[in-house]
Structure formats: C-alpha cells, structure tokens
Chains A and B, each alone.
Chain A
Amino acid sequence: MFEPIKVSMESLNLITLAPMLIAIAGGLVILILDLINSKLHKSLYVMLTILILIVDFGATIGLNVNERGFFNVMLIDGISIISQLLIIVASILFTPLALTSKRFHEYSYPEFFALFLFMVAGFQFMVASDNLILIFVGLETASLSLYTLIALHNRSNSYEAAVKYFTMGALAAGFFAMGSAVVYALTGSIELYQVAQVLAARLHETEIVLAILGSSVLLMVALAFKLSLFPFHTWAPDVYEGASAPLAGYMSIVPKIATLVVAVRVFGMYIDLGVEWVRDMVLILTVITMTIANLMALVQEDVKRMLAYSSISHAGFIMAAIALDTTEGTASIFLYYALFMFTNLGAFAMLWISRHKVRHFSARFDHPYEKFAGLIHIMPMGAVIMALFMLSLAGVPPFSVFWGKIYVMQAAVNAGYVWLAIVMGLNSAVAAYYYLKLVVYMFLKEPVKDVDTVYYNLSKPLMAVIGLATVATVTAIFYVQPLISYLYYMISASGY
C-alpha cells in the first residue's frame, strides 16, 4: 500500500560515510586475508592497518564541513571532522606499537587488527552523528571491540580488566538507553537538532523540569563513565593496569575524544538552551574529578597506574571546557587532546618498551617506580625522553600539553570562570608532584637492581613512534598556531 520510495543518490550524500566504510572494509579485508592464508606475519597486518587508516584519514580530511548525509543521520560538521582526524592519528600512532621485539598474545591474532579497525569505525560513527541511535550503536561497536582487545592481552589482569570494563559499560549502556528514552519522551525525537527545537519550546513547562534535568543526568552517567569522571571513574585505573600499555594509552585518548564529542553535542545543547543546572553539574563533576584523581595519583606506586589517574584528571580538566560552552572552550578540547595525544601515547609507549614478561621489580606491578630508578645512568636517552613526556604532562612550557593547558585556562577566563582557571592551575601544581616523582626516580636515584636492560621491548618501529611523539611534544610551539586556527575555523564553522 505504500508508494515506492524514491531516494536520489545525491541526497544520500554517501561520501559522508566513506571514512567509516573504509575502516570497515579494511577490517573485512584483514579477516579475508587471514582466511586465505593464516600464516601471515603480524607486520603485514600492522602495515595494512596503517595504510587503511591513512586512506581513512585522507577520506576524512577531504570531507566538506557541515554536511548531513543519509537521511540526516550522518552529521559531518567541524567537530566531527577534527575528532575523526584525531582518532585516526592516534590510531596510526598506536598501531606500530604492535611491532615489539617480544611477542605478546594479542598481536598473534589477525582479528586483533580487524577488531581494531571496526572499533575505529565505531568511534567515527559515534562522532559523526547527532542521532542518539547511531551514537549508541557506534559506541557499543567500539566498546565491544575494545573489551575484546583488552582481554586478548591474555593474562589474568587483562581478563579482570575486561570484565570490570564490560560490566560497568553494560550498566552505563542501560543509563544511556534510559536517558535517550527520557529525551524521546520529552521531545518525540532522538535527533539532537530536533530535540533542541522541541525542548526549547517546552522549557517553560515547569512540570517537566525534573524530566529535563533527569535526562541530562542519565546521559551524563553514561558519558561520565566513558570519560571516567568521578565517581564513575573507578574502572579506569584497573583497566589501564590490566590492559597492555599501548592500549591503555589509546584508551586514555580515543574513546575520550569520541565521548567528549558526544558530550559537547548533548550537554552543549542543554547549556545552549539555558539549563544552567547542567553547566553546574558538569563543573562540579569535573572539578571533583581533576582534584580527586590527582590526589589519588599522588600515592601510586606504579607508573602506569599513576598515568591512569593522571589521564582521569586530564579528562576532568578538559571536560570542564564543555561547561564553558564557548567556541574557544570547544576548540580548547580538541587542541588539548591533539597535544596531549602525542605526549600521553609517548609516555605509554615508553612504558611499553620497558615491559617485561616477568615482573622483576614487584610482585604486582609491571612498571613500579623502582624500575626506573637511576635510568639516567642506564639509558640516558630513554630517561630524557620519558622526562620530557612527564614535564609536558605536568604542563611545563614549552612542551605540548602546556599550550593546551593555557588555552583551556584562557577559555575559562574568557568565559568568566576565573575560579575554574585557578582550580586548574592549582591542580596542575599538585599533578606536577607525581610526574616529578618519576623524574626524580629516573634522574636522582641510583638503580635498584642490576637486571637486564629496562628497555627490553625496544624495536625500531617503537623508536619511530616515540621519536615522533617526542618531536611533537617538544616542537609544539611551532605548530600550535596552525592547529588553533584550523580547529577554531572548523568549530566556529559548525556553530559551537
């Protein structure tokens, strides 16, 4: 009884789908290759993955700003492009870390790379839509892949990590679904641009204030879990510890970028509508998060766990920018992550190359501080690079994270939140302590044990990644300008 539906190819704007399709197709190619010949070496898959990601990158960067595609499900605005680019760059940096000199379980699976590419596609979908369904499905695709990748490291800690992450993720998914249901109930739509319109009309209805606030809370719980905001952060240290170092580094960046994009879209909408309560909620959560995580990081005995807490703190730090709801604030998020990415991945890569299969230094930890004691005497170059990363994370100029930090703080000041900037500053000072602790161990202490080389896992590709990260960290001052102007252009173009 229905008329045939006529849809023109132009109106579908399929190009908006191209980046994700490339990643998915790449994943399928890897699976098929494995079916054809199961003896192929992992280096092939690594390079293939990188190539696919490069093509993906090319496809993404070629997208036009502010296009919608496929019945308005796809949304290619400025932040979707830049976040996709960041995701792809981080993934490209991550991939070569598979080429360690020692063998680790997950890389023996070609499926690892396929799952990885599906995960990237999932994140890309997540950021490239304002439809809660697609966001949810993308999120779950990525998350399910991620759980698997964690578990594939194949040792007791990684199962534990996967289970914790998975279970809490399932609960968060419940909250996301419920939040979407409330939004849907309020507006009859789950596409944020429609939601915003309807909500704007309904804001005056006092009876449904609770529902509006409640919807934001439920969505917040789900996103805060992903962003590891207090008190939804509890999984993060354990999962980082259980996962392999590169994956932990990856987790501290890519899922957060993707979730931040969603958060910008969702909470930006609420704040734009004038629901100040949401802004307050975000501010309170972020301030608590950066502070508590910092304090807990102070007392860690393991570098990786410390970095986990530090990542939580950084996430809180940057999430605060959402509450500002200014173009600068939003730009600062991406600037920060663009700069933080290299440093943090570099730091985790440094941990990765120092990873032993047997724990020489501590019964529980892979990377206790003692392991790095006196590193300056053993491997001066390694110590210096690690120290650079630590100083950068601590926000010492002129290293990369500093520029992100002042840009965020400037955004806070500009938006009238001077107190927030001061809190950020003081938190950075506290944070400096635990980063310094590692520097102190490396430079100021004598080696504890005379075990074989600390950088047990070193290989040329890893050196290349670390070298790249180092260069990016040190020379940030020279590329911040183009980065800022690009980000600012993209974000203001998409109206945030």
Chain B
Amino acid sequence: MIGLSHYLIVSAILFSIGLMGVLRRRNLLMLFFATEVMLNAVNIAFAAISHFYHDLTGQMFAFFIIAIAASEVAVGLGILIVLFKKHGSLDLDDLASMRG
C-alpha cells in the first residue's frame, strides 16, 4: 500500500534533483528550470499530505506555490532579458564583476 511516506520520499528525491540542478547549472535559463523542479517536488508533498490528512490546506499551499512559480518566471525572465540585452550571454561565469 502506498503511504504518505512514499509520496514524501518521491518529493524529497525530486527536491534533491532540483537542488543538484541548481548547483550544477551555469546557464541561467536552465537554472530556472531546476528551481521549477524543486517547487514541483514540494507540490507533490503538499498534495500528498493533504490527501492523507483529508485536509485542503495542502492543496491551497500547492495552489499558491504554482502562482508564485509563475510570477517568478515572469520576473525572472524579465531580468534575464535585460541581462541578455546587455551581456549577450546567460552564462553565470560571465557574471562576476562584483566580488570580494
């Protein structure tokens, strides 16, 4: 029987995959993908907990997370566009004029 833990473990694994992506990626666009993965992983957890507790709060949270993710994409892409116009690159390694 599939219990809450199963879902949560899947969620944990997906979250870690997302985290690995964030760590690994140097291309900003791809990096954003990885953050989406993380948020989606959390959504699974919320939906599952909601299901097992018979409680709607989890779904609400997941719902808002989706909204937040969408807004983040909009703003993130906006920033990426100005950055790209300026630098012509989305590579993180080109983006280190401020340090120390």
- Which positions in A face B, CB cutoff 8 Å? 132-133, 136-137, 140, 144, 147-148, 151, 154, 156-157, 159-164, 166-167, 170-171, 173-174, 177-178, 180-181, 184-185, 188-190, 237-238, 241-242, 299-301, 305, 364
- The CA-CA distance from A147 to B38 in the complex, in Å, is 21
In the complex, what residues of B have CB within 8 A of residue A137's CB?
64, 67-68
User: With an 8 A cutoff between CB atoms, is B83 at the interface?
Assistant: yes
The listed residue (B39, B79, B80) touching A177 by CB distance below 8 A is: B39
In the complex, what residues of A have CB within 8 A of residue B18's CB?
174
Closest A residue by C-beta to B11 = A181
B95 contacts A148, CB within 8 Å? no
A-B contact pairs, 18 of them (CB 8 A): A137-B68, A140-B72, A148-B79, A151-B82, A157-B98, A159-B82, A159-B83, A161-B98, A163-B28, A163-B80, A167-B31, A174-B35, A178-B38, A180-B42, A188-B49, A188-B53, A238-B98, A299-B100
- The CA-CA distance from A145 to B44 in the complex, in Å, is 28
Nearest CB of chain A from residue B92's CB, rounded to whole Å: 8
User: With an 8 A cutoff between CB atoms, is B75 at the interface?
Assistant: yes
In the complex, what residues of B have CB within 8 A of residue A180's CB?
42, 61
Please give the number of chain B residues whose Cβ is less than 8 angstroms from any Cβ of chain A in the complex: 44
- The CA-CA distance from A418 to B22 in the complex, in Å, is 41
- The CA-CA distance from A58 to B53 in the complex, in Å, is 42
Given contacts A161-B98, A173-B72, A174-B35, could you give 15 more A-B pairs where the C-beta distance is less than 8 Å?
A: A133-B64, A136-B68, A140-B71, A151-B82, A159-B79, A163-B95, A173-B35, A177-B42, A178-B42, A181-B49, A181-B58, A184-B57, A185-B8, A188-B53, A190-B61
The listed residue (B55, B65, B79) touching A163 by CB distance below 8 A is: B79
Nearest CB of chain B from residue A119's CB, rounded to whole Å: 12
The listed residue (A144, A190, A237, A242) touching B72 by CB distance below 8 A is: A144
Nearest CB of chain A from residue B89's CB, rounded to whole Å: 12
The listed residue (B38, B58, B79, B98) touching A171 by CB distance below 8 A is: B38
Closest B residue by C-beta to A239 = B98
Given contacts A137-B64, A177-B65, A242-B98, contact A185 B82 (CB under 8 A): no
- The CA-CA distance from A347 to B76 in the complex, in Å, is 31
A170 contacts B72, CB within 8 Å? yes
B78 contacts A148, CB within 8 Å? yes
Query: 1/0 per position for B3-26, CB-CB distance to A under 8 A?
Result: 010001001000100110010000
- The CA-CA distance from A132 to B57 in the complex, in Å, is 11
Most central of B18, B67, B98 by chain A CB within 10 Å: B98
Closest B residue by C-beta to A180 = B61
Closest B residue by C-beta to A158 = B82
Nearest CB of chain B from residue A350's CB, rounded to whole Å: 21
Closest B residue by C-beta to A155 = B86
B60 contacts A184, CB within 8 Å? no
Given contacts A136-B64, A161-B98, A238-B99, contact A170 B46 (CB under 8 A): no
A132 contacts B32, CB within 8 Å? no
Closest B residue by C-beta to A151 = B79
In the complex, what residues of A have CB within 8 A of residue B98's CB?
157, 160-161, 237-238, 241-242
In the complex, what residues of A have CB within 8 A of residue B22's CB?
171
